[in-house]
Amino acid sequence: MKSRLYAPVVLFGALSLLTSLLFTSCTTDPVFEEIGVSVNAFDFPTLDPSQGHYELWFSYPEDIVSGKRNAVQHGDALFVSMGKFMIDSDGTMKGLDRGAASFTIPAGFNPGLLIDAIVTVESSADTDDDPSGRFLAGAFTGTEREGFASLKMSGSDAFGQAFDTVTANLKAVYRLRTPSSSATDDETQGIWFIDLNSKPSIGLKAQPINLENENWTYESWVTKENGGSIEYISLGTFDRIDTLDANGAGPNGGPEPVLLRTPGEDFVQGTIRILNDGTYRVIISLQPINLGLNRPFYPLLESDIPLSFDPTQEEQMAVAHRLPTVEIKVDR
């Protein structure tokens, strides 16, 4: 009788042990410790913490099975912050406390599952865990031991090829005109982005360039150096090149309706500006909407307004920017 009972007892015990092992292996994720990340930034616009900051995020693949936001070991879609940083006036990357910037994959996140990375521009009041306007983006490549990513504005999660200095049609010309004034002697007191045929002249794609990256607009400016400091005068924000910008002819414009369909501004009343006196410069910049900066964030096109520039002529603007990049290395 003992021999008859022995086999079932052993079999039952083996099955119980196997079931326990299978259950454990299916539900217990491996433990991943906090990992430091090597990050180098090049040619970034200055950004002080009082105005806003940059933030680096890594993403994980989508898990179509669990649908659990926190099941990152199995690959749920999730952007995870790796750290925040600023760029000071000499181009140095620093932490928000102005010490050395540091970047870390938090404990519990698998560095082997990284898909891509983005750098966003966040407001100084930002407190949420969601990325804002995406400035740079790029995918991870590498081996089982190391992961690498090179982030650029041309990344598909950022702006694509819209601002590429080779493939994009980045251009603009401007003229000195005052369409809001009926006077015939004040043409040098207004600036509009039109060609000699009074057609829109800015070669920039309409915003949003990426429907998943809507926190951006364009803004035009004239600048004037005053006693060693630079005065920035906004001409208005715009998303399209074939409409008036947000403030039309501007607060110093005249009473006449503006029939042009392009950004620009007049200075014919209030603060009068003679724009061809040799002290002004014109800039078209890319601006993050959430910061409300009173200066150009990322200049795209620029030009000195020539001394005694003739209102009957047009002036070509030059590509202003050096494309920023971020280089990332992760030990897996």
Q: List the structure tokens of 102.
A: 């540091």
Q: What is the pLDDT of residue 62?
A: 63
Residue 79 placed within a domain: yes
47 alpha-carbon distance from chain centroid: 12
Residue 220 placed within a domain: yes
66-122 pLDDT, tens digit per residue, is 443 344 443 445 899 999 999 999 999 999 999 999 999 999 889 999 999 999 999
Do 196 and 105 share a structural domain?
no
Do 154 and 217 share a structural domain?
no
Residue 148 pLDDT grade (very low, low, confident, very high; cuts 50, 70, 90):
very high
Residue 11 placed within a domain: no
Do 281 and 184 share a structural domain?
yes
Do 146 and 200 share a structural domain?
no
122, 197, 291 from 294: Cα distances, Å:
16, 32, 9
Residue 15 placed within a domain: no
Count how many Cα atoms sit within 13 Å of the Cα of residue 153 in the half-sphere of its side chain: 20
Residue 237 placed within a domain: yes
Core vs surface per residue 31-47: b (16+ CB within 10 A) or e: ebeebebebebeebbeb
Q: Could you give the number of structural domains in the chain?
A: 2
159 or 77: which carries more pLDDT confidence? Answer: 159
Look up the pTM and report it: 0.86
Closest by CA to 209, choosing from 201, 221, 217, 198, is 217
Closest by CA to 332, choosing from 30, 76, 83, is 30
- Contact partners, residue 168, CB within 8 Å, separation at least 6: 161, 162, 203, 205
Residue 20 placed within a domain: no
Closest by CA to 303, choosing from 172, 167, 125, 117, is 172
269-313 pLDDT, tens digit per residue, is 999 999 999 999 999 999 999 999 999 999 999 999 999 999 999
Q: What is the pLDDT of residue 63?
A: 53
Do 274 and 236 share a structural domain?
yes
Do 292 and 208 share a structural domain?
yes
Do 276 and 179 share a structural domain?
yes
Do 119 and 60 share a structural domain?
yes
Do 101 and 178 share a structural domain?
no
Do 308 and 190 share a structural domain?
yes
Residue 294 placed within a domain: yes
- Domain range spanning residue 269? 173-316
Cis? peptide before 208, omega within 30° of 0: yes
Q: List the structure tokens of 22.
A: 């299978």
Strand order in the sheet with 264-266: 264-266, 190-192, 173-176, 315-316
188, 222, 265 from 178: Cα distances, Å:
8, 15, 8
Do 281 and 248 share a structural domain?
yes
Lowest mean pLDDT among 9-23, 71-85, 143-157, 168-182: 9-23
- Rounded Cα distance, 135 and 203, in Å: 20
Q: What is the pLDDT of residue 77?
A: 56
Do 144 and 233 share a structural domain?
no
Residue 186 placed within a domain: yes
Closest by CA to 170, choosing from 154, 192, 188, 152, is 154
